[in-house]
Structure 1
Amino acid sequence: MELKLDRNRRLADYIYNDLGSEEVVEIEKEIARDPQLSEFYLLNMQVKDYLQAKIQLEEMRSDPQLEDAEQLADMAFDNESQDESHHEPVRIRPKRNRIRNMAFAAAVAASATIIIAVGIIPSNINQDRLFDRYYEPFEASDYSQRGEANETYREIAIGINNYVEGNYRQSIDQFGTLALDPLIQSEVQYYTALSYLGLEQFQSAQSLLESVLDGDNRFQLEARWYLSLCYLKTGEFDKASAVLGQLEIYDGMYKKDAQTLRKKLGRFRP
């Protein structure tokens, strides 16, 4: 699954011109020797066409001169009777509007469906969409099996389970009742930060994640990853790039995503 996701992301980067020259050569070789990948590439090129059509249609719909253009088209295509009876002309604009709206809706639906299916985002993506592409809640479902079986850790487990279930406010409240014992401070700060991140309170999450990095060695890689996403969301691209650069040093689950995300940050810098 991870290999497939990585391949899809590289293919998306290739289609939307986000790869270096060496990476372009490598993926073009893969496409040439893998029929399934070649077919997938062709499908994604069709998606790109859908996206471009969608953008053009959106621009047309927002053009203040669109109504005048439609009236001009009516004058060209309506077969108005010119006889002495002066019959009312047959107006076809409503039909044309319906066709245009249907085409617009179809293009939007097709684009959205295929993008969701293959995970491709166009190159004019903004930082919010880039965040959405890389952010996933932390998988902590096995925490109840960790640590000492005492009351403190049971209370921590309750807070973490609330986080896992998406009950972010309850998770924050639960951790707020725990004393900041040095032995559990990292857990309390880290999961509270993740809960704030789930609530899209990025400044609060950022502050806590920075504290985690100043603490002991637990959650160092995880905290860096989520901190980089906070910086991305708040527009602090240089800080995000620096943190991602630290993650690239370590062989782990965040290494590849850190590399590709850091490459993309340049497009958002003023």
Structure 2
Amino acid sequence: MEEKDYKLLDQYLQDELPDDQKAAFRQRIKEEEPLAEELKLRQQMHTYLRTKAQQPDLEAAMKNLGGTYFSPAEKATKIVPIARRRLYVGLGIAAAIALVLLVWNPFGSGNLYKAYAQHPPLALVEKGDALALAQQAEVAYGEKDYKTAYDLLNELTDLSSENVQLQLALGISALETGRTTKARQLFEKLAEGNSALRNYGCWYLALSYLKTEEFAQAKAELQKLDDSDPALYDKAAQLLEEL
């Protein structure tokens, strides 16, 4: 594929192509398998990012604690002076916040990494002898058994060295199992390429530095993302603000 094809893919996904160009591009998708595969991969990534939104951990923790300290159930008819009740409520709020901060430290780099390290799904398409191996790798990766996934994906890499989604999953598995150097080598290769996952290479390089508390390097990698993938670009901008 040529550089202009990647730009056309971005324009197509963002609905920026005129009708005549859109029709011509759709015809090319039917006739050119590499272009169709690249489009499918980008659509998977866009869908994943759009549907991955979750409530922040702090909001969930405060909601659970709120049910404990501010239960609507009537517990007793004992009359408590207003001043004392205010004191009890104030102490309850303070205790709730203190407990949340103790369990969930929003300023800790480890929690910041966990908040953003929401990994994309793995969908390998292999043929022949690699089919069973690919299925095992998908299952292990989906269950977050990254140690097993790393070993299986390593074997698959020998068979499909140009599969960028496999390379990304191998890098993520390496990062999650403490193989930081290996992970960064894989992410750098993706970041320097022209595939649909170039931005993901930059993103995961940034996360690898976030995990090791090298914040300057994390910021530098985040700033390399372009807006060809709007959802991932927005996540990077949000993380930059937090750093």
The TM-score with structure 1 as length reference comes to: 0.48
* 2:223 corresponding residue in structure 1: 245
| Residue in structure 1 matched with residue 110 of structure 2 by the alignment | 128
1:53-92 to 2 correspondence within 5 Å?
none
| Mapped partners of 1:261, 1:220: distance in 2 | 18
SS in 2 for 1:254: helix
**Higher Cα Rg, which structure:** 1
The alpha-carbon deviation at position 261 of structure 1 amounts to 0.8
Give the unaligned 5+ runs of structure 1. Answer: 13-39, 51-102, 266-270
2-structure distance, mates of 1:2, 1:178: 29
- Distance in 1 between residues matched to 2:234 and 2:105, nearest whole Å: 18
CA shift digits 1:239-258 (9 cap, x unpaired):
32222123253343212211
Q: Structure 1, residues 152-204: CA drift from partner, whole Å, max 9, x if none? A: 35433322321111221111111222353565453443221111222244333
Give 1:215 deviation, angstroms: 4.4
State yes or no: 1:139 paired with 2:117. Answer: no
Distance 1:149 1:241 in 2: 40
Report the residue type matching 1:151 in the other structure. Answer: D
Aligned equivalent of 2:241, options 263, 267, 270: 263
Aligned to 1:79: none
Contact conserved, 1:180 with 1:188, CA < 8 A, in 2?
no
In 1, distance between residues paired with 2:120 and 2:148?
A: 17
Taking a change above 3 Å as real, the CA distance of residues 171 and 226 of structure 1, as seen in their structure-2 partners, is: same
SS in 2 for 1:241: helix
- Alignment partner for residue 156 of structure 1, among 134, 150, 164? 134
Q: Give the counterpart of 1:210 among 161, 182, 188.
A: 188
The CA distance in 2 between the partners of 1:129 and 1:210, in whole Å, is: 24
Give CA deviations for 1:122-148 in whole Å, capped at 9, x if unaligned. 5xx1322221221223223xx15xx35
Change (3 A) 1:230 1:218: same
Residue of structure 1 aligned with 2:155, choices 177, 192, 200: 177
1:220 aligns with 2:190: no
Paired letter, 2:154: G
The code of the aligned residue for 1:126 comes to G
Contact 1:197 1:205 in 2 (8 A): yes
Structure 1's 161 and 224: CA in aligned 2 closer, same or farther, altered over 3 A?
Answer: farther
Per the TM alignment, residue 217 of structure 1 is displaced from its structure 2 partner at its CA by 0.8
% same residue:
23
- The answer on whether the counterparts of 1:186 and 1:215 sit within 8 Å (CA) in structure 2 is no
